[in-house]
Chain A
Amino acid sequence: MHSSIRNFILPLLLFVVTALLPLVTSEYYTALIVKIMIYSLFALSLQLLVGCTGLISLGHAAFFGISAYAVTLLSPEYESGNLLWMLPVSIGIAMVYALITGALSLRTKGVYFIMVTLAFAQMAYYVFHDTKIGGGSDGIYLYVRPEFRIGDWVILNLDNAYVFYMFVLVCLTFTWVFLAMLMRSRFGAALTGILVNEQRMRAAGFSTFGYKLTAYIIASGLGGLAGILYAAKDGYVNPELMNWEQSGLVLLMVILGGMGRLSGAVIGTITLILLQEIFQSQALFGEFAVHWHLTFGLAIIILVALMPKGLIGLPEQLRARRRSSAGSPAAH
């Protein structure tokens, strides 16, 4: 019974505490938490591919960006659009794009898959960067935050900062619960099978291609949801949202946190975004804060070098080290 309490009470407590945080923290921290939640959702969607299925995609930002653009382009210019239909349509566009590129990319394996997903994401990047569709490299503005409404009845007005905060939190929670349930289903078991040994799964009669493609499309939809939230948060989208650096960053969040576990994606996201904040902080680094890419890059190299299993594997790694040093007399 103890474990079921932990499985249920702890997340609920976490949810309530997070929901109440904006009441006690300043605006700056509230905005930071929103950013962390959106990127956590984004990282969770990639975790489904990388950690749960073994598909290392380096082009995940494409879905984030496509949905962000879709929701911005669909919105009327000076009034708020209706998310009731814009949300599914924007996510749907990313999923259709995932269906096409995924069907092609999944014909390849390993390093090829890494490079092909990256190349397709760059393709999406250039579509928005080089054409006038979304204002070219300047990007476009989402002047009024969209809302949920039926007819004239506004169900959710996201313009209210706290409502938006709660909406992001609910989306994140939904994604987490959805993925946790997905991984416990037969479908999730098949994905785990593919992660461990795809050859054997095929021999056992599973159409692994179909499973992988479905996972790819689901991940793209959730990635798209993160993109929509991001567009609504900033009110501004530009091609850099789908740049390969963005894809690299979210992959980094997954790997740094730890692969395969949903909490890993969130822990990795929190760590990296806080690191960015710290290295950009003039109070801590003074003039050198301008060059935060240097410290951030070095931190990445060191973290990856020291923690091959990610943050979530750290306790185990430390325990193993202690055990091995205690076991060998040479250590003393």
Chain B
Amino acid sequence: MDPVIFLIQCLNAVQYGLLLFLVASGLTLIFGIMGIINLAHGSFYMIGAYMAFALGPLVEQYVGGGFITTLLACVILSAILGYFLEWAFYSYLYHRDHLQQVLMTYGLILVFEELRSIIIDNDVHGVDTPSWLSGAISLGDIMTYPTYRLFISVVCLVVAGLLYWLLTHTRLGMMIRAGASNRDMINSLGIDINRLFRIVFALGVALAAFAGAIAAPVSSVYPGMGHSILIICFVVVVIGGIGSIKGAFVAAMLIGFVDTFGQVLFPQAAGVLVYVMMAAILLFKPEGLFKQG
């Protein structure tokens, strides 16, 4: 393969992997801490993307900000939505078994999808790349790369870094990690577990919605966009090990590379390659690469 093309595909793979990580980290956080298997997580990605589409013009008109303001608005609104959803639905699921969680969140997907079609519509929409990020940037003298894709990578990397810092260096992160490894313990330490759960859930929703919003100019927004990302996030979580953020990162990157290069090298088999990889890894590590306690 031509080294320039190779490098470009590597950058694409990293961009996809990072985006995937943001969505999957929310999924694994919610499962790891709250023990809820949330099929509707892909819907939050979709909601983020549609928010970017619908809020963009509104923000421009009434707030006067540009793309960054829109992104912030998406994050804040989705976090509020997550906080509300936890209170309204998910808080009833803690003591239910996985089956009932699967079904209730399946019902929620139907509701979210239909509400989307009622509020917006069922068409495919493009989202404009902000003018200052459109065009291509030259890296060295040999190649150019779309500025916006590079922007996605950088921003996602920053968010991933912030998440890492939040989890490892703050009191909230300490509580979250404690909650992930032993829920009863953290409860008996006198920490308000309800509030912690609500915050974690809002954080997970915001991460997914943010990923959707930032990806929207590249992927455009379309019905059912949450489904495909949900399934691939499951693969990330299964390969990485449930509840492990580090595992989610490694797995997301792996999938980013396998999928991106698969589409270039074996376009016919691209859709299946990721699952073949999952099967291969499960053969040796049935509980994922980084199993949590």
Contact = CB atoms under 8 A, between A and B. Distances in A.
Contact of A298 (B102, B107, B275, B282): B107
A135 interface: no
A108 B278 CA distance: 12
Interface in A94-120: 101, 104-105, 107-108, 110-112, 114-116, 118-120
B167 to A, nearest CB: 21
A294 to B, nearest CB: 4
A122 B275 contact: yes
Contact of B278 (A116, A245, A248, A255): A116
Contacts of B92: 305
B183 to A, nearest CB: 15
B109 interface: yes
A77 to B, nearest CB: 24
A86 interface: no
Nearest to A249: B106
Interface residues of A, number: 44
Interface of B, secondary structure class, is: helix
Contacts of A256: 103
Contact of A130 (B106, B238, B271, B288): B271
Contacts of B120: none
Contacts of A291: 114, 117-118
A255 B111 contact: no
B206 interface: no
B114 to A, nearest CB: 4
B103 A119 contact: no
A156 interface: no
A116 B287 CA distance: 11
A129 B271 contact: yes
B235 A119 contact: yes
A297 B114 contact: yes
B100 interface: yes
Nearest to A299: B107
B100 A104 contact: no
A109 to B, nearest CB: 8
A244 B118 contact: no
A302 B279 CA distance: 36
Contacts of B235: 115, 119
Contacts of A251: 99, 102-103
A11 interface: no
A296 to B, nearest CB: 6
A255 B99 contact: yes
B108 interface: yes
B246 interface: no
A123 interface: yes
B237 interface: yes
Given A112-B242, A296-B110, A308-B96, A119 B286 contact: no
Interface string B20-63: 00000000000100000101000000000000000000000000
Nearest to A100: B279
Contacts of B282: 104-105, 107-108, 116
A273 interface: no
B234 A308 contact: no
A114 B107 contact: no
A104 B99 contact: no
Contacts of A126: 271-272, 275
A297 B231 contact: no
A255 B100 CA distance: 8
Contacts of B231: 118-119, 122, 244
Interface in B264-293: 268, 270-272, 275-276, 278-279, 282-283, 286-288
A89 interface: no
Interface in B83-99: 89, 92, 96, 98-99
Contacts of A294: 110-111, 114-115, 118
A328 interface: no
18 contacts: A50-B99, A56-B99, A112-B242, A114-B98, A116-B278, A119-B234, A126-B275, A129-B271, A130-B268, A248-B39, A251-B99, A251-B102, A252-B103, A291-B114, A293-B111, A294-B111, A297-B109, A304-B104
Those 10 A-B pairs whose CB atoms lie nearest each other, nearest first:
A297-B110, A126-B271, A300-B107, A123-B275, A294-B114, A301-B107, A297-B111, A293-B114, A107-B286, A115-B234
Given A104-B283, A297-B114, 12 more contacts: A56-B99, A111-B242, A114-B102, A115-B234, A118-B231, A119-B278, A131-B268, A252-B103, A293-B113, A300-B103, A301-B111, A305-B104
Interface of A: 50, 56, 58, 101, 104-105, 107-108, 110-112, 114-116, 118-120, 122-123, 126-127, 129-131, 244-245, 248, 251-252, 255-256, 259, 291, 293-294, 296-301, 304-305, 308
